[in-house]
Structure 1
Amino acid sequence: MPAGQLRDNVSRIKKPSPLGKSLFVGLRAADVFWQYNLLHQGWGIQLIEKLGGHPVHSSLVLSPLTRTGLHPYYGLVTLLSLGSSIKQILHIVFVSEQAMDVGSGFTIALFNTIFNTVNTLLSLWAVTSPVASGLGSTNLINTILSPPIAAGIASYAIGLSVEAISEFQRKSFKQDPKNKGIPYGGGLFSLATNINYGAYTIWRAAYAFTCGGFIWGATTFAFFFRDFATRGVPVLDEYMTQRYGDAYRQIKSRVRYALIPGIY
């Protein structure tokens, strides 16, 4: 891809951005309550009906026997949104040094909320809902042990953990004064030069799969994988090469994969 066509979706300028980051944190926290109320207040069911679809019956969503007031499966759906918000808030507060203006803070948070909302709605749509197809159970353990849901939750947990751990590993390396001006290629980044991007792709796809089934999960994976492979990785490679030169080229020559170890 020619250099002039590369587009970076985040700023590479390092400076404090209290307003933009505070807005982002607030909106990501609010997303959890939004996703919960789509389920608990019946807003999601009402929206599906207005769009002409057939949602699952409300009795399959609500449960007076759980602390959340939701069927165990929908409690898990809420936890998926909670996990994504916590991870991204921790990243912005403790890891990121890049500038985030108010516009970027709003746009990035909105993007995540839109994706999460689509996932929640698909979990409620009779055509795609695991509960409607009989995979959900009124027992939390049985719900988690259902093979498709177990696979989705496990992949989500692995992807989210790898993304968070790799970024904290890099942050720790950068905080050491003796590493100033040196690119990081250790820890999980020794497995793939952009393993955090690959991990993000995995947990996003797993979140989608758990809520909307295989087709939506595969579509989500393809969307993010293609974006990172054709835009995110090339633009970051260009930035890193310009900043670190041969030191970064040595890392690339040593690390075989760009996104997902063993795959790409």
Structure 2
Amino acid sequence: MADKNQESKVVDYVDRSNKDPSPLGRSIFVGLRAADAVLQFNILQRGWGTSLIQRLGGSVVPFATPRDASVAFFGLGPYPAIMAALAAGSSVKQIIHMVGIGETALTPQAATFIGLFNTIFNSLNTLFSIWSVTSAAPQMATQSASLTDVVTSSPTLMLGLGLYTVGICTELVSEIQRKMFKDKPENKGKPYGGGLFGLATNINYGGYTLWRAGYAVAAAGLPWGALVGAFFFYDFSTRAIPVLDQYCTDRYGDSWTEIKKRVQYRLLPFIY
């Protein structure tokens, strides 16, 4: 009885057994994620973030203006352009998943919650990247410099970009591999434990954790990146993974048990 009570307290934000198309929920999610990319760009390019921080009594990093920088990216200097690109990349990845990969139904309420949740984290990263107290911008970012010079001048920035790239590619590729497996008629009703999912049963969650941590590192350095990574690691390991494990156990039975025996890790290889 205690176990059942404990399971009932674990929250899942989607009904995994419901495979309805849910066009309204998906449209809301896609719209919010697309709007987020535009929002983060405007926070940087139009000075919305600078204005907010200064009104709160803070100071901002004096980035090189586009005409001072050797290369201008849609009106942004190299480092702000990197921050805008990371936000846009997260939106593109999640829109691809929603439009062409995901099968689980999504209610308008869940779509709104998940969309805004991602926007909050992206907005914090954007603001922290320009606030002088937290910004991980290398000194080169305040001078006339190329994108390559800015990136290679900062090990912290390179680490953040590396984690982001590995994480978002891992999440996307693993989900495409699972989708291709599921689309084959002979695999109907079977769980997937191949490809990148052969490294960890929830490798897509691990990928999400990595790119979220990397995005935070690139914006505000190691302390913020470690905090963000720890938050998602804790949430996935204590909430999302137990929920999904129970769902897969109920749906696939022994087939899922065999995959868990074969695949040692749950979130990230050699970690958890």
Q: What is the match of residue 126 of structure 1?
A: 132
Q: Which moved more, 1:190-199 or 1:133-142?
A: 133-142
1:136-193 deviation line (CA, Å, top 9, x unaligned): 3621111122321111111101100000000010000000010011100000000000
Which of the numbers 20, 36, 43 marks the counterpart of 1:15?
A: 20
- TM-score, normalised on structure 1? 0.95
1:181-234 deviation line (CA, Å, top 9, x unaligned): 110000000000000001100000000010011111000001000000111111
Shift of 1:30: 1.1
- TM-score, normalised on structure 2? 0.93
Is residue 72 of structure 1 aligned with residue 75 of structure 2?
A: no
1:239-259 deviation line (CA, Å, top 9, x unaligned): 100110110000000000000
Count residues with an aligned counterpart: 261
Work out whether residues 40 and 61 of structure 1, in 8 Å CA contact, stay in contact via their aligned partners in 2: no
Is residue 63 of structure 1 aligned with residue 66 of structure 2?
A: yes
Q: What is the match of residue 148 of structure 1?
A: 156
The letter for the 2-side match of 1:174 is K
Work out whether residues 40 and 126 of structure 2, in 8 Å CA contact, stay in contact via their aligned partners in 1: yes
Q: What is the match of residue 100 of structure 2?
A: 94
Which residues of structure 1 form unaligned runs of 5+?
none
Query: RMSD value over aligned CA atoms?
Result: 1.3
Is residue 212 of structure 1 aligned with residue 220 of structure 2?
A: yes
Q: What is the match of residue 209 of structure 2?
A: 201
Which residues of structure 2 form unaligned runs of 5+?
none
Matches within 5 A, 1:227-238: 227-238=235-246
Work out whether residues 73 and 140 of structure 1, in 8 Å CA contact, stay in contact via their aligned partners in 2: yes
Is residue 32 of structure 1 aligned with residue 32 of structure 2?
A: no
Which of the numbers 160, 179, 191 marks the counterpart of 1:171?
A: 179
Work out whether residues 195 and 259 of structure 1, in 8 Å CA contact, stay in contact via their aligned partners in 2: yes
Q: What is the match of residue 6 of structure 1?
A: 10
C-alpha separation between the residues in 2 aligned to 1:238 and 1:140? 46
Work out whether residues 61 and 74 of structure 1, in 8 Å CA contact, stay in contact via their aligned partners in 2: no
The letter for the 1-side match of 2:65 is L
The letter for the 2-side match of 1:100 is L
Work out whether residues 161 and 218 of structure 2, in 8 Å CA contact, stay in contact via their aligned partners in 1: yes
Work out whether residues 140 and 149 of structure 2, in 8 Å CA contact, stay in contact via their aligned partners in 1: no
Q: How much identity, in percent, do the aligned residues show?
A: 51
Q: What is the match of residue 253 of structure 1?
A: 261
